[in-house]
Structure 1
Amino acid sequence: MNCTVHVLDKTVEVWTSTQDALGTVGRVAKIAGVPEENVVFHNSYCGGGFGRRVPLINSNMIDHATIIAKEFNVPIKTIFSREDDMQQDHYRPSVHNNFKAAFDSSNNVTAWQSRFTGPIQVPGASHIPYEIKNQSIRVVEGNTHVPLGPWRSVDHTQQTFFTESFFDEIAHRAGINPYQFRLNLLREHPRHRKVLEIAAQSAGYGRDIPDGHALGIAVQESFGSFVAQVAEVSLDKNRRPVVHKVTCAIDCGWVVNPDTVEAQVESGIIYGLTAALYGEITIKNGRVEQGNFPEYEMVRMSTSPTINVHVVESGEALGGLGEPATPPIAAAVTNAIY
Structure 2
Amino acid sequence: MTQNAPNRGPHTGRRGLLLGGGGLLLATLWPVKGLRADAGMLVEDSTAPFAPNAYIRITPDNRITLILPNIEMGQGIYTSSVMLIAEELGVDLNQIEMEAAPPGGGAEITGGSMSIMTEWKPLREAGAAARTVLVQAAAKRWNAKPESCTVESGTIRHLSGLRLTFGAVASDAAKLPLPKEPQLKSAAQYRLIGKPQHRLDSVVKVEGRAVFGIDVQIPGQKIGTVAASPVIGGTLKDFNRDAAMAVPGVVAVLVTDAKDAVCVVGDHYWAAHKGLMALHPEWNEGENAKVTTQTVYDQLHDGLKGPAIVPTSKGDAPAIIAKSHAHYSAVYQQPLLAHSTMEPINCTAHVRPDGCDVWTGTQVADRARDTAAEITGLPKEKIAVHSQYIGGGFGRRLEHEYITQCVQFAKQVPYPLKIVWSREEDITRDRYRPAYVDEVTAGLDEKGHVTAMTHRVVGPAVVARWDPPELTKEGYDEDLSVGTLITPYNYPAYRLEFARREAPGVITAWWRGVGGTRGLFVVEGFIDELAGRAGVDPVAYRREMVKDNPRALAVLDRVAKEAGWNTPLPQGRARGVALQFAFGSYMATVAEIEMPENNVVIIHRVTAAVDCGQVVNPDQVISQIEGGLIFGFSAALYSEITLKDGWVEQKNFNTWRVMRMNEAPRRIDVHLMESSEDPGGIGEVGTAAAAPALANAMAAAQGHRYRTLPLLSPRNLEKEAAK
The bucket for the TM-score relative to the shorter chain is over 0.9
Tell me how far apart the structure 2 counterparts of residues 291 and 54 of structure 1 sit (CA, whole Å).
22
The match for 1:307 is 668
Tell me how far apart the structure 1 counterparts of residues 381 and 644 of structure 2 sit (CA, whole Å).
44
Shift of 1:120: 4.0
**Residue identity in the other structure for 1:71:** Q
Tell me how far apart the structure 2 counterparts of residues 297 and 239 of structure 1 sit (CA, whole Å).
14
Tell me how far apart the structure 1 counterparts of residues 542 and 461 of structure 2 sit (CA, whole Å).
26
Equivalent residue in structure 2 for 1:53, among 390, 397, 402: 397
Aligned 1:48-87 pairs, distance under 5 A: 48-56=392-400, 59=401, 61-87=402-428
Tell me how far apart the structure 2 counterparts of residues 68 and 90 of structure 1 sit (CA, whole Å).
21
- 1:23 and 2:367 aligned: yes
**Range that drifts further, 121-130 or 223-232:** 121-130
The match for 2:446 is 105
The Cα offsets for residues 14-33 of structure 1, whole Å up to 9 and x where unpaired, read as 11101111221111111111
The match for 1:161 is 521
**Residue identity in the other structure for 1:124:** S
Equivalent residue in structure 2 for 1:329, among 677, 690, 705: 690
The Cα offsets for residues 24-57 of structure 1, whole Å up to 9 and x where unpaired, read as 111111111112221111111002100111134x
Shift of 1:285: 1.3
Tell me how far apart the structure 2 counterparts of residues 223 and 54 of structure 1 sit (CA, whole Å).
18
Tell me how far apart the structure 2 counterparts of residues 281 and 328 of structure 1 sit (CA, whole Å).
21
The match for 2:499 is 140
Q: 8 Å contact 1:216–1:333 — kept in the other structure?
A: yes
Which segments of 5 or more consecutive residues in structure 2 lack a partner in the other structure?
1-344, 463-478, 700-723
Aligned 1:31-50 pairs, distance under 5 A: 31-50=375-394
Which segments of 5 or more consecutive residues in structure 1 lack a partner in the other structure?
none
The match for 2:614 is 254
Shift of 1:109: 1.7
The match for 1:12 is 356
Shift of 1:76: 1.3
The match for 1:124 is 481
Tell me how far apart the structure 2 counterparts of residues 240 and 97 of structure 1 sit (CA, whole Å).
26
Aligned 1:163-312 pairs, distance under 5 A: 163-238=523-598, 240-305=600-665, 306-312=667-673
Tell me how far apart the structure 2 counterparts of residues 79 and 130 of structure 1 sit (CA, whole Å).
46
**Residue identity in the other structure for 2:481:** G
- 1:151 and 2:511 aligned: yes
**Residue identity in the other structure for 1:326:** T
Shift of 1:96: 0.8
SS of aligned partner of 2:540: helix
Tell me how far apart the structure 2 counterparts of residues 256 and 164 of structure 1 sit (CA, whole Å).
29
Tell me how far apart the structure 2 counterparts of residues 287 and 239 of structure 1 sit (CA, whole Å).
27
Q: 8 Å contact 2:434–2:503 — kept in the other structure?
A: no
Q: 8 Å contact 2:348–2:419 — kept in the other structure?
A: yes
**Residue identity in the other structure for 2:662:** S
SS of aligned partner of 1:236: strand
Q: Which has the larger radius of gyration?
A: 2
Shift of 1:161: 0.5
Tell me how far apart the structure 2 counterparts of residues 46 and 164 of structure 1 sit (CA, whole Å).
32
Q: 8 Å contact 1:160–1:327 — kept in the other structure?
A: yes
SS of aligned partner of 2:432: coil
Q: 8 Å contact 1:120–1:155 — kept in the other structure?
A: no
In the alignment of these two chains, the number of paired residues is 335
**Range that drifts further, 229-238 or 113-122:** 113-122
Tell me how far apart the structure 2 counterparts of residues 333 and 65 of structure 1 sit (CA, whole Å).
40
- 1:89 and 2:430 aligned: yes
Q: 8 Å contact 2:460–2:503 — kept in the other structure?
A: no
Tell me how far apart the structure 2 counterparts of residues 50 and 325 of structure 1 sit (CA, whole Å).
13
Tell me how far apart the structure 1 counterparts of residues 593 and 450 of structure 2 sit (CA, whole Å).
28
- The structure with higher relative contact order (CA 8 Å, sep 6+) is 1
TM-score by length of 2: 0.45
SS of aligned partner of 2:532: helix
The Cα offsets for residues 312-334 of structure 1, whole Å up to 9 and x where unpaired, read as 23121221121111112111111
Tell me how far apart the structure 2 counterparts of residues 8 and 315 of structure 1 sit (CA, whole Å).
53
Tell me how far apart the structure 1 counterparts of residues 548 and 499 of structure 2 sit (CA, whole Å).
30
Identity over aligned residues, as a percent?
Answer: 40
Residues 183 and 285 (structure 1), Cα distance of their counterparts in 2 relative to 1, 3 Å cut: same
**Range that drifts further, 112-121 or 307-316:** 112-121
Shift of 1:106: 4.1
Shift of 1:118: 2.3
**Residue identity in the other structure for 1:140:** A
Residues 277 and 106 (structure 1), Cα distance of their counterparts in 2 relative to 1, 3 Å cut: closer
The Cα offsets for residues 78-100 of structure 1, whole Å up to 9 and x where unpaired, read as 11111110000111111111121
Shift of 1:239: 5.1
**Residue identity in the other structure for 2:546:** L
**Residue identity in the other structure for 1:141:** R
Q: 8 Å contact 2:589–2:607 — kept in the other structure?
A: yes
Q: 8 Å contact 2:375–2:404 — kept in the other structure?
A: yes
Tell me how far apart the structure 1 counterparts of residues 440 and 553 of structure 2 sit (CA, whole Å).
24
Shift of 1:141: 1.1
**Residue identity in the other structure for 2:456:** R
Q: 8 Å contact 2:447–2:534 — kept in the other structure?
A: no
Residues 120 and 64 (structure 1), Cα distance of their counterparts in 2 relative to 1, 3 Å cut: closer
Q: 8 Å contact 2:480–2:516 — kept in the other structure?
A: no
Residues 107 and 84 (structure 1), Cα distance of their counterparts in 2 relative to 1, 3 Å cut: closer
Q: 8 Å contact 2:364–2:398 — kept in the other structure?
A: yes
